Amino acid sequence: MKILFYKDPPNINSTLLTWTFAEELRLLGHQVFWGKPKIDSIQKGFIDWVFGNGIDSWDAHNVAKACGAKLHIHLEGVAYWRIGMGSAAKDWGYDKELTSEEIKYHKEQYVKWMSAAYNADSCSVNGERQIIAIQTNLFGGHHLPNCHKLSCGVDARYASTLRPYYPKKWQMVTASRIEEAKKVFMIAEALAKLDVEKLPPWIIIGYGSKEQMERLLHFCNEHKIKAMLYPCYGAEKWRIIKDSCLMLQGWSGIPPSEGLMCKTPVISFNHKDVVELYNDSIYWARDNDTDDMARKIEEQLKNVTDSYNLNWLDTVVENGRDKLLKGQLYACTQEQLAKYYDEKIFI
């Protein structure tokens, strides 16, 4: 199959997840192209499938129809507090709630691009709760056509090429964009409630706006938390995750699977979406409860230092990694994701 990813080529500021997914498709024998060509610039019949998502969905639709290709639309996550589902913005770490006019605006924007899925040959959504949210709150209960429940995958092939460091280093890691909804600030607040002098360094693999990053670093410096922002990717990212004795996550879909792949225990707030992804495969703190997160961090670090001498791997991590590699979690490997598209969608 010849597949056009209707989007700009990935760069170092992106997660590179789509790029690694495309590479797995190439390994299966598909030809993959990138870019946003004009409607009349592609020879009819040359492209078999167009993959679109986000605000470019309708443009991807128009290109697909013009060149006679089939269309797949990936519907990215719905932010519940933006469509009036009763989920408050403050519950996601934001400083203020949205007004009814702001909710109306965001809902209209979601509908504007997500509606492309109803004209597509297939679509995919990250998880059952997201499917229900989109169908019920944006499209009056109308079922998404040929919808596949899929999440982006972890780049397990690359991760497996790196030898793990044993014993693991006395350091914690968070892989996340630095923004309010990811709850990285709440993790910092939880760490500030502990004896920071005894805490290991906290490495944050991520980036964000200058304002958000400065705010986070200011808080950490003020509370003497040994934190470092390190927006790296590729082998360096995997080395840090593999070397760390604990991964701390607020709200993220993919990074916990990266921790499991690297045999690193993961603690996350138990937001329903994340629980749906990982169930009993990682450790949980009550959602938005920084006191409980602090207790869980302290408990896990005590396990590492007292019982396992930084070479600890328990059944939760082992079982979670086993489920990931067997394709039993919504968060899968990129290899599994490409195989699913190859066998179920791009056929």
Q: In degrees rounded to 5, what are phi and psi of residue 226?
A: -80, 85
The answer to whether 121 and 146 are in contact (CB under 8 A) is yes
Same domain, 177 and 42: no
Q: How far apart are CA 172 and CA 246, in angstroms?
A: 5
The number of domains in the chain is 2
Q: How far apart are CA 104 and CA 227, in angstroms?
A: 38
CATH number at residue 49: 3.40.50
Q: In degrees rounded to 5, what are phi and psi of residue 61?
A: -60, -45
C-alpha of 61 from chain center: 25
Same domain, 104 and 221: no
The pLDDT, as a whole number, for residue 310 is 47
Same domain, 219 and 338: no
Cβ neighbours for 317, distance < 8 A, ≥ 6 positions apart: 260, 263, 264, 265, 266
Where the chain has pLDDT below 50, the residues are 309-311
Q: How far apart are CA 330 and CA 343, in angstroms?
A: 17
Same domain, 261 and 130: no
254-to-33, 91, 276, 321, 323 alpha-carbon distances in Å: 24, 21, 13, 13, 14
CATH number at residue 185: 3.40.50.2000
Same domain, 18 and 147: yes
End-to-end Cα separation, the chain, in angstroms:
8
Same domain, 115 and 89: yes
Same domain, 91 and 194: no
The pLDDT, as a whole number, for residue 166 is 67
CB atoms within 10 A of CB 334: 24
Q: Which of 78, 73, 138, 136 is nearest to 111 (CA)?
A: 138
The answer to whether 190 and 220 are in contact (CB under 8 A) is no
Same domain, 164 and 97: no
Owning domain of residue 237: 158-325
Same domain, 106 and 178: no
Same domain, 117 and 178: no
The answer to whether 264 and 174 are in contact (CB under 8 A) is no
Hey, is 236 helix, strand or coil? Answer: helix
Q: Which of 73, 87, 170 is nearest to 115 (CA)?
A: 73
For CA atoms 301, 303, 306, 312, the dihedral sign is negative
Same domain, 109 and 133: yes
